[in-house]
Amino acid sequence: MRHRSVLAWLPVLVVALVLGCSPRSTSVTPERAAELLAAKPFPDSLAQVEALRQQGVSWTNEEVRLHYNRLVGTIGPANEKWKQEGLSAEERARRAYGMRHEARLLTRAMMSEAAEVEELRKRDLEVYGNPDGPTFEQLVERQRSKGVSGDAVYEAIIESSQRTNQAMNKRFGL
């Protein structure tokens, strides 16, 4: 399975190289990331993406990735709040999955190159059978196929929802 995932990214990387999005050799410092994220508005919804575009706002792929990581970074604190509210592991996992899924769709909508978005969707279709990434049910089944059961299935989904693809982060110097 891991081998297939690596191969699925090959077309994305080839397109990125052709489009001049070569991997960066320098890292974005936390200070630089904060500067980039403070320099312009970033959307919280798909409707805001369009409204901001109409105002002339656009984002680089680096800014999009930073925003994605920022959105994913809110899942852990939200999960802690949900625990305090007494939500079940399954409900917390569904919410964490939803936040991650929405972050995926939102940031893809922010991207300026349709070809790059299409390559990401193509990769997800090949890996998950869905152009917008895995379904919640697929994630549950993946955990169960590893022998995980009970609430541990949902805790694993919550945990994994907070991890981003390190190869993509590295590609943008993050």
Q: Please tell me the distance from the alpha carbon of residue 74 to that of residue 58, in angstroms, as a whole number.
A: 23
In terms of Cα–Cα distance, which of 162, 135, 147 is closest to 77?
Answer: 162
| Lowest-confidence pick of 1-10, 20-29, 75-84 | 1-10
Range of the domain at 77: 2-171
Q: Please tell me the distance from the alpha carbon of residue 171 to that of residue 86, in angstroms, as a whole number.
A: 39
Number of compact structural domains in the chain:
1
Global pTM reads 0.80
Read off the tokens for 126.
Answer: 């090949």
Per-residue pLDDT tens for 38-58? 889 999 999 999 999 999 999
Q: Please tell me the distance from the alpha carbon of residue 8 to that of residue 88, in angstroms, as a whole number.
A: 35
pLDDT of residue 3: 38
Q: Please tell me the distance from the alpha carbon of residue 111 to that of residue 95, in angstroms, as a whole number.
A: 25
Q: Is 169 a residue whose pLDDT tops 90? A: no
Q: Is 72 a residue whose pLDDT tops 60? A: yes
pLDDT of residue 174: 75
In terms of Cα–Cα distance, which of 101, 87, 165 is closest to 139?
Answer: 101
Per-residue pLDDT tens for 92-108? 999 999 999 999 999 99
Q: What is the DSSP string of 9-31?
A: HHHHHHHHHHTT-PPPSSPPPHH
pLDDT of residue 26: 54
